Structure 1
């Protein structure tokens, strides 16, 4: 009897202890340093390093391979005076920024992608880029928006401002991220597209290159096999 009463009185201890342990596990986080050859983590809900880094690497490589890398730099002041050409050398690229038109918020990845693209331009011997701080100041002082630089007159004003600041430019570079989403029951496929557009400041002509990655999102581990397995079930 005493044993039965004891068990009845202490029966609440097990559930409470389990709840405490589970609650403690939820607040615990572990971490480790990734090695250079470790694969990137594939995000379960949105794009991450495994998507953005390969897109940047491919798009930048394709774009720079098509652009002439040696220019004689020139610019015109607002009063119509043309500054004499500087010696030919690496083409100077003014990276305006990244426009996100995808279905996802990029949070901290937007600035990281900017730096990755900018670093790859500078890492190519035929090109060099203008400091982002100088670009931001030039846009502010000329009261121009990035998309307004497609107008030739605005482009000349912007280039002249950078030229007087000691950074004459040859190209304007724009980056845009878009996405397309396909849904099938509990599975979602999202196609990510990074487009780079390089505008020649002197001629106004542009070169455009892009890279794409497709990613599937599933509500179970079997979702990948079920939709993209050997029998190609995703087609219907």
Structure 2
């Protein structure tokens, strides 16, 4: 007669413990989400977008909160540069930390950062950013560099910039309520060009000009 092998007591206890652990994590009300914290969202609208996409709810089982899956979904939002999601098994707290991209200009109607990434940041006001028009993000960044190298006082008068190619930039500036086009040319001799523009604008005969060409700053043209 064949003997029936007995399952070791240790294995039975281990299986019971494992089953109990699975129950506690997946079904018990002990390990649930007690709070959700979002850090790094620059506007209330962006925080709302993060909360919605993360799809985490208070009272949800912690075991069902998948940090990596949530991070991947958040990174589909182009205005987020990085995202980290963590969960605390002791107090049930879930923390979402994001690093938003920093807008440097309005590029063809959208926001662009220093890396050339184009994105839309919910709730972001663009009043203090230069407006840039160009065929490619690379040219847009080149135009932004032209703007950043301008004296701070002159920057305040710049309404928008355009870039046709890497040596053909143009600025539109506000001069006493008039929109004046500055044909800048290549990104060079910035200090001299600003000096020439300032001198031309102080002349009485130039009070109504609409265009200044300083692409060749030693021989400027006004119109």
Q: Do the structures match in fold with TM over 0.5?
A: no
Higher relative contact order (CA 8 A, sep 6+): 1
Give TM-score, length-normalised by structure 1: 0.24
